[in-house]
Structure 1
């Protein structure tokens, strides 16, 4: 700890105040608390003469007496008590700083704000939050499930700390990395004619009612290119935004649809059959963060929880 500034003592010479060193202040404070130089020396693990020399050097540097020697006892002067109060206040301030540093280390800088696209909003992200809360049980989390473009806007503006969004978003104004790119599968109602096949290919889709994502969806665009190369056109019965909606419509027998493996756990296996699709259609999800903003301890720990939950 740096030696406290002694403005309150009315010292006009900063040179004298700056002659103090940490060891002198430590010994002086120990003597004030213990009452004698010998007890203070024992507490500090030094000899009594060494403590006395340090006090004498401190008095010379300050230019005023700290103790009167009465009957072989050190009696603090009024100036010593005033100085001691200043030192104790400095120690309390240092203790406060240490406590705050420990709190930041253990709890981070406050709450955590997370936004996710629907695809992962009821599966992977809740698992990650559970992992994160094991390490940070006292941290409050705001979690929103939104359209990918809204996730992007909240993160780009700095209102949210972490976002998961589909890869069709505008990437300007965010820091991003590929988070997931699983191969999509074809979901169909139980008893559907295609359920007899082990692998679904583009030509197999011809003529079957299809539940598609909206045209701006990148997975939809990849599928459109694949079926166009095969010389067929999808028989689109419904277009929707959410993977969960595709699954619900498939369950009700409306048609077949392309789904990510990350929604499989939400499906009623007694009413839905899943089959691989070839050639592969990747469903890419991006991890996005606010631009030019260092990651806090909380954000880093949450990203770790996300990675471990994949």
Structure 2
């Protein structure tokens, strides 16, 4: 037996007549009769009695139809599953983010997203930018947020976030009373630096060298979040992504503008074709909303 025979048989049982089945499937009545005869030959028992030109289901036919109905319910479930995957993805969302955004902006986006998608399961991992890129490129994650030093080949991407660096320090630091911090203020000052491969650090170094300034680097770390924690402990001052400083001011960290402008840039990364899934599009919108709203939202 084949699927088409079963489909015609099911339409005949539902429609109650060969003419109705033919209308349902947009085929001819002879095609219905022929398919039923072939199916009866395959199963080895009559599915219908022929009574005055009508097809009346036999007891065996009624019993067989019950199992055919179960099979079609399973097929309908598969179709629905395929539609969900096509439109929404797997019903889950896997997000990887650099620490500066993963501890602040991304959680706000998750809250916004879950307000309209409460049944979607979410995985959020905080990784280095290079690891974020690798996880998205190998399709282990749907969305990634990474700093601009990553290799962008092999992933769909767009610039997501560009924000000016701020200077952070403990409340009792000599620079805490200044309105704006400039390179000259940091000369020979105990300084907590980002890792050498960080492009934002390279831009900071350019601003120092332009004025002949050389801060005294006491610690190097890859994460603005860690710079904030170290500055709060009095280890030194640092220039950080302001998103990472969110919440530290309440704990006593002093945050000051820095001139000239030095920018932190991050990209949003997608695995190939992931942007077509509705859940990915909606979470991207939530990220943009959270970025526009800022930390006070």
Q: 1:214–1:241: 8 Å Cα contact kept in structure 2?
A: yes
Whole-Å Cα distance in 2 between the matches of residues 192 and 81 of structure 1?
88
Task: Write out the 4+ residue segments of structure 1 that deviate beyond 4 Å after TM superposition.
Answer: 24-28, 63-67, 77-82, 86-91, 101-107
- RMSD, aligned α-carbons: 3.7
Give SS of 1:263's match.
coil
Normalising by structure 2, what TM-score?
A: 0.76
Match 1:198 to one of 156, 164, 179: 179
Number of the residue aligned with 2:252: 271
Distance 1:189 1:230 in 2: 25
Deviation per CA, 1:175-207, whole angstroms, max 9, x where unpaired? 221111111111122132222221122222223
User: Tell me, which stretches of 5 or more residues in structure 2 are unaligned?
Assistant: 38-47, 292-297
- Please give the alpha-carbon distance, in whole angstroms, between the structure 2 residues aligned to 1:80 and 1:270: 77
Matched, 1:68 2:51: yes
Distance 2:81 2:228 in 1: 48
- C-alpha distance in 1 between matches for 2:61 and 2:250: 79
- Residues 214 and 303 of structure 1: is their aligned pair in 2 closer, same or farther, counting only changes over 3 Å? same
Work out which of the two has the higher radius of gyration on C-alpha atoms and give 1 or 2: 1
Q: Does 1:5 align with 2:4?
A: yes
Q: Of the candidates 28, 31, 39, which is equivalent to residue 16 of structure 2?
A: 31
TM-score, reference length from structure 1: 0.74
Q: Which 5+ residue runs of structure 1 have no aligned equivalent?
A: 9-16, 38-49
SS in 2 for 1:5: helix
Q: How does 1:29-178 map to 2 (within 5 A)?
A: 29-31=14-16, 58=29, 62=33, 67-69=50-52, 76=56, 78=58, 81=61, 85=65, 88=69, 92=73, 95-97=76-78, 99-100=80-81, 103-104=84-85, 108-178=89-159
Q: CA deviation at 1:291?
A: 3.7
Q: Once the 2 structures are TM-superposed, how far is the Cα of residue 126 of structure 1 from its aligned partner?
A: 1.5
Counterpart of 1:256 in structure 2 is: 237
Q: Take 2:224 and 2:81, find their aligned partners in 1: how far apart are those partners?
A: 44
How many pairs align? 274
| CA distances 1:61-104 after superposition (whole Å, capped 9, x unpaired) | 6267975249xxx671549948x939856864664355435654
Q: Distance in 1 between matches of 2:152 and 2:87?
A: 33
Secondary structure at the counterpart of residue 195 of structure 1:
coil
| TM-aligned CA deviation for residue 216 of structure 1 | 0.9
Aligned: 1:285 with 2:284: no
Do the aligned partners of 1:107 and 1:139 also contact (CA within 8 Å) in 2? no
Asked whether the equivalents of residues 120 and 262 of structure 1 are also in contact (C-alpha less than 8 Å), the reply is: yes
Q: Is the 8 A contact 1:114 1:143 kept in 2?
A: yes
Q: Which residue of 2 aligns with 1:47?
A: none
